[in-house]
Structure 1
Amino acid sequence: MTRILYSLCGRDESRPFSPHCWKVSLALAHKGLDFIEKPVAFTEIPKLEGGFSRTVPILKDGDRLVRDSFDIALYLEDTYPDRPTLFGGEGGKALSRLVEGFSQTLIHPVLTKIAVKDIHDMLAEPDQVYFRESREARLGQTLEAFSAAREAALADLSLRLEPVRHTLKLQPFIGGATPLFADYILFGALQWARVTTGLALLPDEDPVALWFGRCLDLHGGMGRAVA
């Protein structure tokens, strides 16, 4: 049986960048499940699997289609209970919900300021038009104006990561001694910025940067495969 993960890319299919798709890639690897990744452009997503979803990731597992990164993780946990757990029980699911909320409400907005113009520049022309129109309508200003304060956004990112920094002084992963889906959620956000901007988001010695490096090395260095 062939599993297919539809993910997001720009002009270069070898550089998938969606934070939500990176979560799922690592979750599949964590479970030891083989899959084929098929990165697509923004404007191609509505054509996938008969219009199944307006967004990626989409996982096709045999005849089953699943959308949304958290729902995919829950599906993998329930469908493959004999494989390494993504949550370690109900408490781990609750932890992952907390990390997802933290990431999407506090980390994604500042990463958008850092990366939005770079994302636009990675896209093919039809997607650039779509991306600019949709994001500028959402942001209420041009991409250039929104991303003008990148240095301030980088400093803000460091401050917002302080709760994670505190946790990682006590344990190597958010999930404890070993990574769980909670780690992949925040990793996906920072990998999104890494792939799209190429910036060093944090000092090398920062506990979050060290944790991010450990996550990049997981599953045969899957995260480092995209430089």
Structure 2
Amino acid sequence: MTITLYELAGTDLSRPFSPHCWKTAMALAHKGLDFDRKTVSVTQVPQVEGGVSKTVPVIRDGSRVVADSFLIADYLEETYPDRPSLFGGEGGQAMARFVESWSQSTLHAALNVIALQEIHDRLAPEDQAYFIPSREARLGKSFDEVAALRDAEIAGFSAKLTPLRVMLKSQPWIGGSSPLFADYIVFGALQWVRLVSTARLLEEGDAVTDWFERCLDLHGGLGRSAPAAG
């Protein structure tokens, strides 16, 4: 049975941009599961599966509906144990929790500032009207105040990747010899900005850039199938 993945997109449906939805898409592909991608707009999220969640991703797998990217990964691992593991064991699951916390607190905090205006500009008018007050409330700043921080966040972003950069000197993936869900967590963050923003945050020849390019090629080029922002 094909799994349905609900994911977020703006007016360009070829660029579903939510970092959390990309985690789930990569996790489903990692497991080798068939899935359909159903895009929804910001204001359509409350209608998904009868309002099961205020956010996406949400998946439907037969009679089961699961929300939240990490809970979905846990569900896939438990439900399909005979398929490639997303965690490689309990330790890998705990590691992924740490990676998610680091990504959310460090990378997402910067990317929310860097890409905020560009995300807004890629939404339909009715979604823009919701997006502005919701993000201002989340960030505790006006759009103009956030925009004033953008250049500084771009300039400082490479340094935020230092832990990943150093680690990649000794292993090709966060998961070790092969990618795990922890890789998809960080990939989702960088894929997000790749799809919505013209800011170029990764430098040629950097170990992080090489890792990201390998991620784009995983699972038949699933990540690369969505065109980068022009």
TM range (shorter): over 0.9
Contact 2:154 2:199 in 1 (8 A): no
For 1:200 and 1:213, the matched residues in 2 are separated by: 14
1:118 corresponds to which residue? 118
Alignment of 1:33-112 (within 5 A): 33-112=33-112
Displacement over 4 Å in runs of 4+: none
Give 1:15 shift. 1.1
2:32 corresponds to which residue? 32
Once the two structures are superposed, residues 149-176 of structure 1 have per-residue CA deviations (whole angstroms, 9 ceiling, x without a partner) of 3232122221111011110011111001
* Residues 1:199 and 2:189 are matched in the alignment: no
2:10 corresponds to which residue? 10
Residue ranges of structure 1 left out of the alignment (5+ in a row): none
TM-score, normalised to structure 2, is 0.96
Identity among equivalent pairs (%): 59
Contact 2:2 2:33 in 1 (8 A): no
For 1:6 and 1:174, the matched residues in 2 are separated by: 26
Alignment of 1:173-192 (within 5 A): 173-192=173-192
For 2:197 and 2:189, the matched residues in 1 are separated by: 12
2:143 corresponds to which residue? 143
Contact 1:172 1:178 in 2 (8 A): yes
Paired residue type of 2:182: A
* Residues 1:160 and 2:160 are matched in the alignment: yes
Give 1:200 shift. 2.1
Give 1:14 shift. 1.6
For 1:138 and 1:199, the matched residues in 2 are separated by: 22
For 1:209 and 1:148, the matched residues in 2 are separated by: 27
Give 1:147 shift. 2.3
* Residues 1:170 and 2:170 are matched in the alignment: yes
Residue 222 of structure 2 aligns to a residue whose secondary structure is helix
Give 1:192 shift. 0.5
For 1:222 and 1:152, the matched residues in 2 are separated by: 32
For 1:128 and 1:97, the matched residues in 2 are separated by: 32
Give 1:85 shift. 0.5
For 1:47 and 1:170, the matched residues in 2 are separated by: 45
TM-score, normalised to structure 1, is 0.97
For 1:185 and 1:140, the matched residues in 2 are separated by: 25
For 1:147 and 1:4, the matched residues in 2 are separated by: 36
| Alignment coverage as a number of residue pairs | 227
Contact 1:115 1:147 in 2 (8 A): no
2:19 corresponds to which residue? 19
Residue ranges of structure 2 left out of the alignment (5+ in a row): none
